[in-house]
Amino acid sequence: MRKIVHLTSAHPRNDTRIFIKQCRTLAAHGYDVTLVVADNRGDERREGVTILDVGRQPGLIKRVFTTTRRVRDRALGLDADIYQLHDPELLLVGLALKRRGKQVIFDSHEDVPRQLLGKPYLGPVSSRVLALMFALAERYACARFDGIIAATPFIRDKFLKFKPGTVDVNNFPLVGELENAAPWSHKHLEVCYVGGIGEIRGIRELVAAGGHLQSQARINLVGKFSEPAIEAEVKSSAGWSRVNELGFLERAGVRDVLARSLAGIVTFHRLPNHVDAHPTKMFEYMSAGIPVIASDFPLWRDIIEGNGCGICVDPANPRAIATAIDHLTTHPEQARQMGENGRRAVLNHYNWTVQARKLTDFYGALSHVRHAVAHV
């Protein structure tokens, strides 16, 4: 049995992509799977996966330096066959593992250089310099790794330019996980946003849209604010009176919110790292059978309008967001049909079952390469 270790210094142990999808899938296919995390919740074994905790350090600087060193030391002590890295700060850890003859995979959840270009606090010059520096470091490290897994086709194509065999394993939903059998007539006059809450994810415009609503619709807000100043600003605005603040919810709680909502919203700002992304929440809304109100990026429009499962709007225009909410909440039969179209698209294409096969095929190919090298 081949031993696989997944490493993260930033994500929680119950991360949907890392644990719920990838670790559980690999364990179910007969691999010995360990997940190293840094969340201060201790060691445990769950659903066939051993979880080891190196302890959380407060602040970004300590995470990048102290936590990554602890992750590295724990990884070296496990003596696994394959290591999969889930955070960009672990690239140096990957190089250390390669020097010890290990197979190393980098799982690129985001296009980090493009993400840096969209950080408003860096400034235009600093963001370009940091993006270039990271791109060079990323290329150097990843060219030496044994494989790259990318979260989207766009990221895959970036790595394919210098790393043949890169595969995209998309964050598509688990079939049935977020579905609810309640009839459409049981829906409340509500829409929802689920995910991290921040300026670049459109929270200011979404709350402002609440002040422009002509219907009696309310906005269910699920997640945590990442910026205290933005949180204080939107909570003092007129549109906040239309918001149901629900905080962070586990998956069962998210399913319940989706079940009572008439639509899901994902109106991210038009930033380099957003326009070519596959936002997980968009596909989860579709899997739950509710229409999507999404930013009108070409890629997103192709998915939403191509499957007839929602409305695309200008994410910078609160009135346009409000108009879309009003339309779906006052045209329930059209909203129900859009929701059914989205669920059908997930069942046929945008689901984890398809992506799980890509993941296990990728690992199988790595095992064959290792076996062939061992017998040379």
Cβ 264 vs Cβ 293: under 8 Å: yes
pLDDT of residue 64: 74
DSSP category for residue 18? I
In this structure, the chain runs to a length of 376
pLDDT(370) > 70? no
pTM: predicted TM-score of the whole model, two decimal places: 0.86
pLDDT of residue 373: 45
pLDDT of residue 374: 44
Answer CATH for 184-348 from 3.40.225.10, 3.40.50.2000, 3.40.50.2020, 1.20.1090.10: 3.40.50.2000
pLDDT of residue 316: 97
pLDDT(181) > 90? no
Cβ 192 vs Cβ 206: under 8 Å: no
How far is residue 168's CA from residue 165's CA, in Å, rounded to a whole number?
Answer: 10
pLDDT of residue 183: 87
Tokens (6 digits) for 4:
């696989």
Please give the C-alpha separations between residue 145 and each of 44, 94, 98, 172, in angstroms, as whole numbers.
29, 8, 7, 25
How far is residue 272's CA from residue 245's CA, in Å, rounded to a whole number?
Answer: 29
Distance of CA 125 to the CA centre of its chain: 28
pLDDT of residue 319: 98
Going by C-alpha positions, the residue among 227, 249, 247, 235 that lies closest to residue 207 is 235
Q: pLDDT digit string (tens) for 346-359?
A: 999 999 999 999 99
pLDDT(371) > 60? no
Mean pLDDT along residues 128-132: 87
pLDDT of residue 131: 86
Mean pLDDT along residues 309-320: 98
Q: pLDDT digit string (tens) for 7-58?
A: 999 999 999 999 999 999 999 999 999 999 999 999 999 999 999 999 988 7
Percent of the residues in the chain that have a pLDDT greater than 90, as a whole number:
81
Q: Chain-wide mean pLDDT for the chain?
A: 92
Q: Amino acid identity of 295?
A: S
Q: pLDDT digit string (tens) for 277-303?
A: 889 999 999 999 999 999 999 999 999
Confidence of residue 125 (pLDDT cuts 50, 70, 90): confident
pLDDT(170) > 80? yes
If one compares 362 and 122, the residue with the highest pLDDT of the two is 362
pLDDT(207) > 90? yes
Contacts of 368 (CB under 8 A, 6+ apart): none
Mean pLDDT along residues 126-136: 88
pLDDT(141) > 80? yes
Task: Please give the CATH topology (third level) of the domain spanning 3-172+351-374.
Answer: Rossmann fold (3.40.50)
| Angle, helices 68-78/91-99, rounded to nearest 10 degrees | 30
pLDDT of residue 372: 46
Q: pLDDT digit string (tens) for 236-269?
A: 999 999 999 999 999 899 999 999 999 999 999 9
Q: Which of 41-50, 141-150, 366-375 has the lowest mean pLDDT?
A: 366-375
How far is residue 263's CA from residue 328's CA, in Å, rounded to a whole number?
Answer: 7
- At residue 117, the 3 state secondary structure works out as helix
Q: pLDDT digit string (tens) for 62-95?
A: 777 789 999 999 999 999 999 999 999 999 999 9
**Domain locations in the chain as residue ranges:** 3-172+351-374, 184-348
Mean pLDDT along residues 174-184: 85
Decide whether 3-172+351-374 matches 184-348 in CATH topology.
yes
Q: Which of 51-55, 181-185, 310-314, 325-329 has the lowest mean pLDDT?
A: 181-185
Confidence of residue 177 (pLDDT cuts 50, 70, 90): confident
Looking at the DSSP assignment, which residues form a beta bridge with residue 313? 295
Mean pLDDT along residues 327-345: 96
pLDDT(376) > 60? no
Confidence of residue 200 (pLDDT cuts 50, 70, 90): very high
Pairing of strands 44-46, 49-53: antiparallel
